[in-house]
Amino acid sequence: MLSSILYKEWLKIWRYLAIVFLFNVAVLVYLFIDLRHLFAIEHAEMIWYWAFQIGTLHYAHIKCLLPITGMIIGAAQFVPEMIGHRFRLSLHLPVRPDALVLWSGLIGLLAVGIIGVLDALSLYAIIGIFFPSEAAESALLTALPWLFAGLVTYLGTALVTLEPLLVRKLVYIAVSAGFLWLFYQSNDYESYNRVLWKLALLALLFIPSIILPAYRYRNASS
């Protein structure tokens, strides 16, 4: 069962996954070039002053990178199911509907998560090239909320796409946007260190929530 769901989800997302992967690589390459350019035209002590005295983020390029990725992967997975009510085909498969939706969601989440991990490792490596390792670790902790925002965006996109009723779609958009807003409340270094795990736990609630619109879809297909 799982292999067939994985196969279907892969067929839907692989092209988009390749595109968003290249997009992520392009943004990270740009970050590298930007930093190299900065170090070429500015004195090192000036950059140090900006980064560690004023608190300028030199890697803000990646703030919205994973949310964009999450939105594209979520749409690639669930929009084709909704066009022409094709989701009914999936709901007739000999699989429990909740398991079907959960596995589909987890597969998408895994795809976004892998890109998020690659982003995080790349960020660590790029910052580590130009700054001391403490700064690279700090960049990772500072960027973690943005990476979690990517996962939340994916789940929010799934929730909104699967929901059949417009009013509820708008409510889910508002809830997802509100939740995302929490991840972007500070531009300071490591400002989410003490609260991030709580936000991450709260974000886990999004995972089972995507089952509800699937059941509602079945009822609303009339």
Instruction: Give the CB-side neighbour count of residue 211, counting CA atoms within 13 A.
Output: 11
**Nearest to 211, CA basis, from 97, 73, 72, 107:** 97
Stretch binding another protein (CB under 8 A), from 50-58, 92-100, 124-132, 154-162: 92-100
* Minimum distance of another protein from residue 222's CB (angstroms): 5
Min separation Cβ 1 and another protein, Å? 7
Near another protein by CB under 8 A: residue from 29, 36, 49, 88: 88
How many helices (H) and strands (E) would you count in the chain? 10, 0
Alpha-carbon gap, residue 39 to 33, rounded angstroms: 10
Applying CB under 8 A, among 41, 94, 167, 194 the residue interacting with another protein is: 94
Q: Which two tokens stand for residue 50?
A: 């900006």
- Work out whether 96 is an interface residue with another protein (CB under 8 A): yes
| CA 3 centroid distance within chain | 24
- Check residue 167 for interaction with another protein (CB under 8 A): no
Residue 53 touching another protein (CB under 8 A)? no
Place of tokens 């660590």: 124
Q: Which residues bind another protein (CB under 8 A)?
A: 1, 3-4, 7-8, 11-12, 80, 83-86, 88-89, 91-96, 218-219, 221-222
